[in-house]
Each structure stands twice: as C-alpha cells, then as structure tokens.
Structure 1
Amino acid sequence: MRFTPFLLALAWFGSVAAAPPAIIDLTGDFTRIAHESEGLPAATRVARFKAAMATRIPGFYDAARVGAPVAEYDSYIARALERFPAIEAKFTARAAAVAGQLAAAQADFARTFPDSGAQDQPAPPTYLLHSLGEMDGGTREIGGRTVLVFGADVIARVHRDDANERPFFQHELFHVYHEPRFGTCKANWCSLWEEGMATYVAARLNPGARDDELLLPAADMAKIAADLPAAICAMRPLLISESQADYRKLFNGGSSLSGLPERSGYFVGYLVAQKLGAGRSLPELAAWSPAEARARIFAVLDELAPACQDRPR
C-alpha cells in the first residue's frame, strides 16, 4: 500500500509526455530457473537464482533491502522455488494478462491526469516478477532510484480470478503520480491521505467497482463503520506519529490496533478523501501540499469523530 504497498508499464500521455517505459517482465526468468534447478539441493537452487537475478534487477532480491537475515531471506527464495509447481499455471496466466491490462488502465488514468509522465517527472522503471510473497504492487527504492514492482505471485494468490484489475492498477498509478507532487511528509496522517486518495481515485475512475477490487474488504469496512468515531479516536494518536510501528498498525497486514481490522487506515483515509472530494476535481485534490491537506484532513476527522477533536494534531 507506503507500500505503497505498484505500477506503470505502458504509455504516459500529455503534451510533454516522456517516452513510454517498457514493462520489464522477469516472470519468465523465475519460471526458467525453477525448472532448470528442479531436483537440486535447496542451497544450490537459491545460489543460482540470486546469481541470475542480480543482473536483472540488482538489489531487489537482497536480504538487506527488507531488513532480514540472509539465511532467513534465502529460505524465502527456497520456499518459493519449491512451491512454484503448484502456482505455475495461474502465475503464468496472470503475468501474461498484466501488460495489456496495465496499458488500458494508464490510458484511462491519463485522461484524468494528463500531466502524468511529464518530462520533469518521468515514469519509474516497471517490473513484473515473482515477489516471494512480498507484494501485489507498489514502489520500492532500489539502488537510489524508485521502481514500480508488480508481484505476479501475490496477484495470482490474493486477487479474485474474476477481478477487474483496473482499480488496482490505477491505485498504484496514482501513488506514482502523487508522490513527487506531494513531497516529503513523514507523519502517519500523510499516509492516511496518500492511501485514502489512491483508493478514492480508483473508486471515482471505476464506478461500480467491487469492494475487493478497491482493496477494501467488505467485512472489515462494516466493522469499522459500526463504530466509526471510536475507530478514529483510536487512530488519532498514531496519525501524528512518524513511527513505523504505528504505521504498521494502520496500514499493514499482520498488525493492527486493538479491536480494529488490519489495514484500517485505508478505509478511514478513503472516507476522508471522499468527504473532501465532494465538489472537487481529482487533479485539484492531488495538487494539495502537505500544509494544504493537513488542516482539511483533521477537520474531516473532527466532523466524523467530534468526541476526540481535542486530541493532538
């Protein structure tokens, strides 16, 4: 999700658009290595994989990037190779569909944001690969540059077979578009706005999209909505924090505030963006600086949960 979290391989439009970046498809590399190393010791398979991928996407399959011990990260690679036969057919099919779906999503996105991909803010390199379970999509910093990554393994595992992927791609496209325009903003309320806006943009560009296609599980939304003021009051202290531990409670799976679903910050952020979006264009919202956004965001939170409007902001 700062995770933010993936996307852009197609054409970027506009009168000053940069050359369209090609999607760099590494799914075939994973498949080839899995087949060629089948039956070999796990350590040998891992070594061959790392050697091959080090030249294809330097720094991505690196334990240091994710803060994991080398032995632990190597076990992720070994497990992914071992389990690949069970997902290969679905992995291959979803990977094959991504490029065309992404191109269609970008063409639609560019009609609303015609300055996307402008020469002063060109699209990042875009990779399609096996993410070892890390992500379905998002941006990553590798070797001092931002890249957009789509994990065909997680898309195949998590996304419904009948899902319209356009909202998902446009969610990630918005992050790529918005991040350089919004600038540096480290507090967790910034992420509430960034993720809420990405979800809201996907919803506005795709009327009728299902909750799961917007990355908003219906059951979780219902639980938050059942006592929205209490949920917001619980979140308020975390929103002014810059702590990654607090960020994870709001936006990551596997961690949450007590009594709230995982990733509850996405839904509350979406509600804030929805409120602020009434009567405004998407480009207008996307152009706000952190200073312009902050007062408006907390005003909406005060409106939705007046009992805790006196809390720090």
Structure 2
Amino acid sequence: MSNIKEFNTRLLMENLENHLKQFHYGEYPVELYQPISYIMNLGGKRIRPLLTLLAYSLYKQDYKSILTPATAIEVFHNFTLMHDDIMDKAPLRRGEQTVHEKWNANTAILSGDVMLVKAYDMLLEIDPIILPSILKKFNKTAAEVCEGQQLDMTFEQLEDVSEHDYIEMIKLKTAVLLGFSLEFGALLAGASDHDAQSLYNFGVNIGIGFQLKDDLLDVYADKAKFGKQVGGDIMSNKKTFLLIKAKELANSHQKLLLSSFMKMQAVDNEKKVKEVTAIYDELNIKPLTEKKMASYFQNGFDQLSAIQVNNPAVLQQLIQLTEDLINREK
C-alpha cells in the first residue's frame, strides 16, 4: 500500500499541465483557434481536472491513462468562462485581456462553441461501456452550470434575493462542476456508485463553501495578499451572502442606508465600502458567514468518511488540497 510521501501531487500537476499544453485544438481559421489556445494558456489552478485525477487515483494508479478525459473538464470550464466574460462585460481574466476584448464578442462566442465540441471529443476516449452514463451526468452538470449563470444574471435585476436562492445559484454555477469532477474520476476508476456519489456530495459542499469564502475575502481580505481590489462586490452591488444576510438582519435605519448605497449612481467607492462594511460589522456578518462556510466544509468532509479507497495516501492529499484552499487568503 502506498503512503503519502509516495504519491506526488506536484508530478501529477506537471503531467496535467504538459498534457494541456500539448493538446491541439485546430489550425484554420486561425482567428477561431487562437483564442482557445490563448485562454487555455492563461493558467489557473486547474482544480477541476486535478480533482478528477485525484479521485481516480484513490482507486487506481495509472492516472496518465485518463489525462485527456480529465482535460475535457478544464476545456469545458474555460468555455464557460469565455462566455461568462462576454455576459459580464469583463475586461480581464487572470490579469490578462479577456477573449472578447482581445478579439471581439462574436469570435469569443464561436471559439467558445468549438471548445465545447472539443470537450466532447476528449470525452470519447472513455471506455464505450460507461461512456453513455458518463455523458448523461456530464450533460446534466453542463445544463446546471448554465442554469446557475442565468440565475446569477437574473438576481442582478432583483432588489432582494433569499439566502436559499443564493445558495442554490452558487451550487449550480460553481459547485456542481466540482462535484462532477470528483464523481467522474471515481467512475472512470470503477469505484462503487456509493463512493462516486459521496465524492460528488463532497465536491458540491466544498464548492459552496469556497464561494462563501470568496464572498468573505472580497470584503475582509488583507489588501496586501488579496491580489485584487477589496470591496469590489460592494462597489458593484453584487448580491453576495454577506449582503443578503445584512439586509435580512438589519434594523430600519441600517436597511435604509444599505438601500441608499445600492441605488446611488455616483458614489465615493471608498466611502461606500467603508460604510457598508461597518454595517456588516454591526450585524456580525463575518462570523455568520464563517459559520455557514464551516458547515458546508464539514458536511463535505463527512462524505469522505464513508468511502472505501485503495490508496489512503491520495485521500490525505485530497484533504490537504481542500484545506489549503479553505485557508487561502486570496
């Protein structure tokens, strides 16, 4: 049986990154395929394919045999980012120009469409016996991600969003793909349906927790470590868990202040962040968010206690990776 020192996650990541760089998407027209290579080479944590490879490695040791299917998850994820950036009119992605800014929106739409096609091509390497069932799960997840994005856009037009609806939105937009990434790896390795479902549930719970962490960091992160503007969600009136809870718990005066800041067209952003954060502090929104976040992380880790793995060293690496992400400061 392997031990934790024998499983090299760093080497796994190097093999994954090399596989991503070597994958060929197409050549002509250049304007169609260049944007794909561009966004795929912008980097990122590669969390989703990494989770697939780790889940597979819980049961089998030949993770290199599934590098292409695992890469399909990263291609799909970046396809969603390319289209999301158009909808959000985002100028930057990972510190660089977004595809629709560097080229144009029509090119970004079409290149994104090809990325989705390529993701399906990569999934065709899966054993034909299990391919239909995998595709059904993948298609369900892909549709849910789109549902989450639509809900997010719909919420922008609403004055009030409930905590329940917000959690459901981030579950669909972000968490279900993390859950599928883990379930996918387990199923490719021949794990039991019970283990695959437990890993899916683990991914969904930590995915919700990660988004709540992002909400929290946006307001309370150390500016020197955060890497982007603290208070950006407040400036853009984004309906985060913190704002939703504040509006729910606020007294009449605090509600009036929050509402006035949300409606102001021209406002001193620094003052706005300071004043809204002060209301959050008065209502103890930070510890409330931390408690909610911790409950999802705990629910996730509870799922791992019921699985039967062949390589416990990999399980420890999966837990360590998750804890590192939980404790991140940016």
TM over 0.5: no
Query: What TM-score do you get using the length of structure 1 for normalisation?
Result: 0.29
* TM-score (norm. length: structure 2): 0.28
Structure with a larger share of its residues in helix: 2
